[in-house]
Amino acid sequence: MRAGTHRRLRRGDVEAILRPALTRDQLRSLWLHRAVAGRLVEAPNTVTAKAEANLQRLRQVHPAGMGAVWLGHWRATLDGGVETVLDALTSRTPHAVELRQNSPFAGVLPEADRLAVLAAFASYWRSEHAA
């Protein structure tokens, strides 16, 4: 829309670009990674050591292809330090969403905590998408 010589954008359109809608699986992954972020804040050395070990193992399993590309992105993210990792774990940007699909943070959350996050997410999803 134009107003004189200025182009006007609807706020909703700008917000949709800045904060794209996530699929159910992407949102569930975000919830799990937010829980990982909580662990990272509590014990950064322990969590990053687990991610480093997982990353090393995953890079041996996936030495080529797109998996290797995303693991390379994780390498750079981990090298960037705790703040960079926290951003990747909690961001809604398309890059972070894709990055989390190849996460080296398996095993960081105890199984009971992982299941609690999944149950909370399922409850949230049902309440948000009730017919």
- Average pLDDT for runs of 10 along the chain of length 131: 72 61 94 98 97 96 94 97 98 94 96 98 92 62
* pLDDT of the residue at 17: 64
* pLDDT of the residue at 5: 77
Contact 24, 93 (CB under 8 A): no
| Residue 2 to residue 51: CA distance in whole angstroms | 50
* pLDDT of the residue at 6: 76
Nearest to 105 by CA among 62, 49, 59, 61: 49
pLDDT tens digits, one per residue of 83-99:
999 999 999 999 999 99
Question: pTM of the full predicted structure?
Answer: 0.82
| Residue 88 to residue 78: CA distance in whole angstroms | 10
* pLDDT of the residue at 16: 55
